[in-house]
Amino acid sequence: MQFNSVLDNLKTYEAGKPIELVVREYGIEAKDVIKLASNENPRGCSQKVIEAVREEATKMNLYPDDSMYELKEALAHKYNVSDKNIIIGSGSDQVIEFAIHAKANANTKVLIAGVTFAMYEIYTLQTGAKVLKTPSAQHNLKEMLELYKANSDISIVVLCLPNNPLGECVDTKDVYAFLDEIHPETLVIIDGAYQEYARFKDAAKKIEPSDIIAKYPNTIYTGTFSKAYGLGGMRCGYGIAQPEIIKALLKLRAPFNITNLTLKAAIVALRDQDFVDASVRENFEQMKAYEAFAKALGFRIIESYTNFIVLEFDARKNSGEIAQKLMEKGIIVRNLGSYGMNAIRVTIGTPEQNSRFFECFKTLYM
């Protein structure tokens, strides 16, 4: 059977390995498996969310409110925008998919950092558009601007702030200076999936959606409930942009693209800021242990503004082998070999999970 030719060289995104796979393949009990691969919140989610979802479960036979009024109103209040500035997606990556599909085509290019979230490239190639990457792995806005000015057919620029899977983040003032140089007809996607962490660690990294879409109407900011809010399994994200952009993206959204349980979970999660604050604070407290651990063993890290950290190895160690051996011991991390890096990405876990990682890693690395 013949399919669209753009699929011929398109890679399938490989998600972080689930606990169930390790249980099946290595005979390890689920309680003994630690998942530090997908940047989930190790604290789980707010207890208030759990209680609300239990109550909402009686309505599983009903379709959700497709206007998503209550969630949009809550987000509008949080970010000081109108509900007309908001679109809800099944994870923020769905909103990014809408944005790329709405703007990119076979005659255009999409500009991204050298190493960044793989779905940007996959969504781009689905449209027949080409991908341009900076020579530098991390966000280098000087390189981005040079490529942008040298290629008049760039229709979209994607900035991941902070960047996944590396963890670095550009200062907001530099982002604004970069946007000053971008043509109003170029769509700029600002992926803020980890912004809760970045703005806590360094106010200079904070992106304020209301400010950025007012000054630059060609931008869309995306956020998610999957990380700091602990709702990865509920799949809820959002985009904030000028109504013109939102109206275009809504034409790509299928009805009922998130569930009534997801809606309820997100609404209640927004009300429990104390949980989010405690999660983010503990994350960076525990990250200090990883930084000290790396220094003691003498290998490199990338300073992280997220809930994960990248450990880089020299030629004497192979990240794929390390990730595999860790998994055989019940510790799941993300090998970055597919990004051309000899490194692993480790989600910052609970104190107990992190201690076990350190102990196990020493036996493999030393």
Q: Tokens 């009024």, residue?
A: 69
pLDDT tens digits along 218-270? 999 999 999 999 999 999 999 999 999 999 999 999 999 999 999 999 999 99
> What is the pLDDT, as a whole number, of residue 299?
85
* pLDDT value for 366: 65
pLDDT value at residue 294: 92
Strands 187-191 and 154-160 come out as parallel
Instruction: Please determine, for residue 19, whether its predicted confidence score (pLDDT) is greater than 90.
Output: no
Mean pLDDT of the chain: 94
Alpha-carbon distance of 84 to 73, in angstroms, equals 10
Nearest to 162 by CA among 180, 179, 144, 138: 138
Q: Are 311 and 298 in contact (CB under 8 A)?
A: no
- Return the DSSP state at 15: P
Q: Between residues 5 and 357, which one has the greater pLDDT?
A: 357
Q: Does pLDDT of 184 surpass 90?
A: yes
How much is the average pLDDT of 325-335?
Answer: 93
Q: Is the pLDDT of residue 18 over 90?
A: no
> Quick one: tokens of 186?
């170029």
Q: How far apart are CA 151 and CA 154, in angstroms?
A: 6
pLDDT greater than 70 at residue 318: yes
Long-range contacts of 278-283 (CB under 8 A, 24+ apart): 278/43, 279/41, 279/43, 279/228, 279/230, 280/196, 280/197, 280/200, 280/228, 280/307, 281/200, 282/43, 283/197, 283/307, 283/348
| CATH number assigned to the domain with residue range 5-45+274-365, chosen from the 4 options 1.20.1260.10, 3.30.1340.30, 3.40.50.2300, 3.90.1150.10 | 3.90.1150.10
pLDDT in tens, 68-122: 999 999 999 999 999 999 999 999 999 999 999 999 999 999 999 999 999 999 9
Distance of alpha carbon 339 from alpha carbon 297, whole angstroms: 24
Q: Where are the domains of the chain?
A: 5-45+274-365, 47-272
Contacts of 335 (CB under 8 A, 6+ apart): 319, 320, 322, 323, 324, 344
How large is the average pLDDT for residues 162-182? 98
279 Cβ contact list (under 8 Å, min separation 6): 41, 43, 228, 230
Q: DSSP for 128-184, please give it.
A: T-EEEE-SSSS--HHHHHHHHHH-TTEEEEEEESS-TTT-----HHHHHHHHTTS-T
> For position 171, what pLDDT does the model report?
98
Is 1 or 277 the better-scoring residue by pLDDT?
277
| Overall fold of domain 47-272 | Aspartate Aminotransferase; domain 2 (3.40.640)
Task: Give 11's pLDDT tier (boundaries 50, 70, 90).
Answer: confident
Q: Is the pLDDT of residue 9 over 80?
A: no
Indicate the pTM of the whole model.
0.94
| 51 — pLDDT class (breaks 50, 70, 90) | very high
**Full strand arrangement of the beta sheet holding 86-89:** 86-89, 237-241, 219-224, 187-191, 154-160, 109-112, 130-133
Task: Please give the average per-residue pLDDT across 296-319, as a whole number.
Answer: 92
Task: Count CA atoms closer than 13 A to 244's CA, side-chain side.
Answer: 10
